A and B are shown apart, each in its own frame.
Chain A
Amino acid sequence: DIQMTQSPSSLSASVGDRVTITCRASQTISSYLNWYQQKPGKAPKLLIYAASSLQSGVPSRFSGSGSGTDFTLTISSLQPEDFATYYCQQNYSTPRTFGQGTKVESK
């Protein structure tokens, strides 16, 4: 199975901050990498697919980059509704493994 490792596990930030979350795969996955946002008590929501493509309806302050084994999710200017947990997920092979999550909290 491909292991996905996110860092940091949590971070504290303020509204307006630039936030960066990284995700590393245990083997190369090309650009088969997605990012999701999950708020407490809710289902995850797709933000970014194929490493850098913005899902329809997702604000442009979210962006993704990377290929191979190293990937990044960036929120250019953190908004109040962005405090949540973020997961990366590889769809290169089954099982479709997720990272352990990064919780973005208010400073």
Chain B
Amino acid sequence: QVQLVQSGAEVKKPGASVKVSCKASGYTFTTYAITWVRQAPGQGLEYMGWINPYNGNTNYAQRLQGRVTMTTDTTTTTAYMEMGSLRSDDTAVYFCAATQRGTYYHWGQGTLLTVSS
């Protein structure tokens, strides 16, 4: 069965960077894009962007452009989301999802990022 297992919770100071991983298993890694979504405490779901593991193509939400980088390692079937210049309003749960044509079929368990001085 398809599984996406994310790395553990992180605590970072403002201005720092974070890299979250998402290990995929149970399917051919290149058949789904990996999309990242975040959810601030008590809030809704915010699209961050996606990466196509087949060719490395990416699309980032405009408001995160320049701060976020998504990559994949096809040898380990792992996707990564790195974000820099962290601010307190980046505190959220970050989800990866296996997507096709923009539909989120399978989800990781989420990674809590806390940004605090």
Q: What residues make up the interface of A, taking CB atoms closer than 8 Å to B?
A: 32, 34, 36, 43-46, 49-50, 55, 87, 89-92, 94-101
Contact = CB atoms under 8 A, between A and B. Distances in A.
B45 A44 contact: yes
A27 B31 CA distance: 30
Given A43-B95, A43-B110, A99 B104 contact: no
B32 interface: no
Contact of A45 (B107, B108, B109): B107
Contacts of B103: 34, 46, 49-50, 91
Contacts of B62: 95
Please report whether the interface of chain B is mostly helix, strand, loop or mixed according to DSSP: strand
B35 interface: yes
15 contacts: A43-B107, A43-B108, A44-B95, A45-B107, A46-B103, A89-B45, A89-B104, A91-B102, A91-B103, A94-B50, A96-B102, A97-B47, A98-B47, A100-B44, A101-B45
Given A43-B110, A44-B107, A94 B59 contact: yes
Q: For this complex, into which size category does the number of interface residues on chain B fall?
A: 20 to 34
A66 B30 CA distance: 32
Contacts of A101: 44-45
A100 B46 CA distance: 10
Contact of A95 (B61, B97, B105, B108): B61
Nearest to A92: B102
Interface string B77-117: 00000000000000000010100011111011110000000
Top 3 closest A-B pairs, CB basis? A91-B102, A43-B107, A98-B45
